[in-house]
Chain A
Amino acid sequence: MMLKIKDLHASVEGKEILKGLNLDVKAGEIHAIMGPNGAGKSTLANIVAGKEEYEVTGGEILLEGEDIDELAAEERAHNGVFLSFQYPVEIPGVTVTNFMKTAINETRKAQGLEEMPAKDMLKKIREKSELLEIDRKFLSRSLNEGFSGGEKKRNEIFQMAMMEPKLAILDETDSGLDIDALRIVANGVNKLKSPENAIVVITHYQRLLDYIVPDFVHVLYDGKIVKSGTKELALELEEKGYDWIKEEINA
């Protein structure tokens, strides 16, 4: 099992957001998590990535069977967790290239590997930027500074391509993307998919799932997964909204 979440409870600033969430993700699978605003989708993504402001008050998160609760964000990254941010942070003064070089070499260092030779690094950067149709000039700009919404998201998936994670969580990667950018990003994600890794897509809309086809779709509502199904569930949600689910639960 790539990711196993058991009865996860979590709160931020004393407010309980996740209230007993369960999720099993196997290698080679794509899972979509949908749900209304405020259901806890981004909280889930940030908790798995190790954001410290969120407090896990109960339950377990296992990555390939190992409890990662005690691991810092960077250690989770070293173990193969990747979060594509809903709101990527602007970091003036650090270029995209330098950021990626540092990220990859710090990760290699943690894994007991030598730094990647500059030649290999450049080759990899070239390949992955071509995959995401990213202009070379873009790579020498300050990270996310002055990027459009679509450029930021494309840059997130570029980083995913560079880091080659085992578990990628894409938090609303489709928001802010026009249809062309959406196609490029989805195409990139599909090319990165393999039997050895797993992808969790968090989204409001079914639109992205036309391009990144999930094996399973889950509905997150009020801190729990309340319904799971296959890709047809996403279509049903698109058509009928979330009210029927709320009614089902409250009934």
Chain B
Amino acid sequence: MELKEKLVSSFLAFENTVDVDAPIHDIRSQAIKVFEEKGFPTKKEEAWKYTSLNSILKHDYSIFPKEENALDFKDIKKYFIHDIDTYKIVFIDGKYSSHLSETTHEKIDVCLMSSALTHEKYKPIVDNYFNKIARQDGLTSLNTAFSREGAYIYIPKNKLADKPIQIIHFSTGKESAQMLQPRNLIIVEENSHVQIIERHQSLTDNPVLTNSVTEIFVDKRAVVDYYKIQNDNQNASLIDNTYIDQQSQSLASVHTFAFGGNITRNNLNFYQKGEGIDSVLNGITIVEGKQHVDHNTLVHHTQPNCESHQDYKGIFDEKATGVFNGKIIVNKEAQKTNAFQSNNNILLSDKATINSKPQLEIFADDVKCSHGCTIGQLDDNALFYMRSRGIGEKEAKALLMYAFANNVLESVKIPQLKSRINKLIANKLNVNIGFDL
């Protein structure tokens, strides 16, 4: 049976496990119809021209999470940013792991989507926000149909989340291929601030496909910094669908560190709905082998005096492939918009490829929009210069690559996270250089 049919027919079984009288269930029922109609995207669609999901849709995935598989913290410690105090929402094979997590309901809510969807006290909030900005495309609808678990974060107004929040999904999938569909809802009210780190980690060689949806609401003057670490193993694929709603004077930034995995697709969407908003989209991609990373971004400016800044750096070795498709829409009303986009790439091998495409749709006449894209190799003169100072070829190349990605790294606001990303990069480049940029 094709995966699509399997998913559609599984919906009935899914309904036996959830409260079908809850209003949310109408949304799910609608969504499965949309998925049935639209299915998975194909290369015929413009937005999927360079990314084919065929190779990862052929597996016979188990769709429902099994009973919780226990993991020992010491075995998975390395996947956490563990040298700072954080809240943690940890899932194993799609099931919440209470013993690895650290949640709170004091002043702020850092907890589970499953509680938020079932407990009466969250109902008004969930009704207001759930599935309100998620796009009605096949993949997002599929996630909505099976939405049951994920992170729920609610920061009421004038609150500062006292420490960063880590959301980590592990898949153990020892027996079979596994499909995971986490659903996160994050609401940050007026003047509030939160930092979130998200990671998906497979602990198996069996195929894993994660189709994740995150909705983030950033109210007036609120600040959200979101960091995505995508450094999964060779058989794990990720489709990340993130939707961000921003109100006036708010600041939202998303950093995406794509260092590994089989196929990684980021659908990152910012909807600006007020004035004086700033949106930041930064990314570092370093991949090799046959890895494929696709960044598909959208920033929609609808009101005057807003900004957006996109800076994506990519380093591709061996037969790795990359896609950057950055769409900026500026409505007629959105005068004085400043929208910047830059995508710079280094290809280390003749067989690596990158497809980079800016897409600007500007309907206002008084705006500053710029986009730039470069694709190049490492500069031989710079390499010789460094080598002539005693720095070995491998180290010199790594130093140049660090330097290339450094301005994105510099914008990471959590120092321990920055130094972890530094180490991840050093490991990836297989060097140990005695400096800390």
Residues of A within 8 A of B (CB): 49-53, 72-74, 76-78, 81-83, 85, 88-89, 91-94, 98-99, 101-107, 110, 115, 142, 159, 163
Q: Is the CB of B433 within 8 A of A73?
A: no
Query: Closest residue of chain B to A100, judged by CB?
Result: B389
Q: How many whole Å from A153's CB to the nearest CB in chain B? A: 14
Q: Tell me which of B74-82, B395-403, B419-427 binds A.
A: B395-403
The 12 sampled A-B contact pairs (Cβ below 8 Å) are A52-B384, A74-B391, A77-B389, A81-B388, A88-B385, A89-B382, A91-B403, A93-B402, A98-B437, A99-B386, A102-B399, A103-B391
Interface membership of B381, Cβ < 8 A: yes
Query: Closest residue of chain B to A92, judged by CB?
Result: B403
A103-B389 contact, Cβ under 8 Å, with A92-B403, A94-B403, A98-B437: yes
A105 CA to B435 CA in the complex, in Å? 10
Interface membership of B106, Cβ < 8 A: no
Residues of A within 8 A of B388 (CB): 49-50, 73-74, 76-77, 81-83, 85
A106-B404 contact, Cβ under 8 Å, with A85-B385, A89-B381: no
Query: Closest residue of chain A to B391, judged by CB?
Result: A106
A103 CA to B380 CA in the complex, in Å? 18
A88 CA to B382 CA in the complex, in Å? 9
Interface of B is mostly: helix
A115 CA to B433 CA in the complex, in Å? 11
Query: Closest residue of chain B to A88, judged by CB?
Result: B385
A203 CA to B387 CA in the complex, in Å? 24
Interface residue range, chain B: 20 to 34
Q: Is the CB of B434 within 8 A of A103?
A: no
Which residues of B in the span 98-140 have a Cβ within 8 Å of any Cβ on A? none
Q: How many whole Å from A152's CB to the nearest CB in chain B? A: 11
Q: Is the CB of A77 within 8 A of B437?
A: no
A98 CA to B399 CA in the complex, in Å? 10
Residues of B within 8 A of A (CB): 379-382, 384-393, 395-396, 399-400, 402-407, 433-435, 437
Q: How many whole Å from A206's CB to the nearest CB in chain B? A: 27
Query: Closest residue of chain A to B387, judged by CB?
Result: A73
Query: Closest residue of chain B to A81, judged by CB?
Result: B388
Q: Closest 10 interchain pairs by CB?
A: A93-B403, A77-B390, A107-B390, A93-B406, A73-B387, A103-B389, A89-B385, A98-B435, A74-B387, A105-B434
Q: Is the CB of B437 within 8 A of A94?
A: yes
Q: How many whole Å from A55's CB to the nearest CB in chain B? A: 15
Residues of A within 8 A of B395 (CB): 102, 106
From A77, A78, A83, A101, residue with most partner B Cβ within 10 Å? A77
A159 CA to B388 CA in the complex, in Å? 11
B387: contacting residue among A72, A93, A101, A104, CB under 8 A: A72
Residues of A within 8 A of B403 (CB): 91-94, 142
Query: Closest residue of chain A to B395, judged by CB?
Result: A106
Q: How many whole Å from A193's CB to the nearest CB in chain B? A: 20
A51 CA to B382 CA in the complex, in Å? 11
Query: Closest residue of chain B to A53, judged by CB?
Result: B380
Q: How many whole Å from B190's CB to the nearest CB in chain A? A: 37
Residues of A within 8 A of B433 (CB): 102
Residues of A within 8 A of B434 (CB): 101-102, 105-106, 115
Q: How many whole Å from B343's CB to the nearest CB in chain A? A: 17
Residues of A within 8 A of B404 (CB): 93
Query: Closest residue of chain A to B434, judged by CB?
Result: A105
B379: contacting residue among A74, A77, A89, A106, CB under 8 A: A89
Q: Is the CB of A91 within 8 A of B389?
A: no
A73 CA to B433 CA in the complex, in Å? 18
Q: Is the CB of B382 within 8 A of A91?
A: yes
Residues of A within 8 A of B389 (CB): 74, 77, 99, 103, 159, 163
A106: contacting residue among B381, B382, B390, B405, CB under 8 A: B390
A103-B390 contact, Cβ under 8 Å, with A85-B385, A89-B379, A94-B437: yes
A163 CA to B84 CA in the complex, in Å? 39
Q: Is the CB of A163 within 8 A of B390?
A: yes
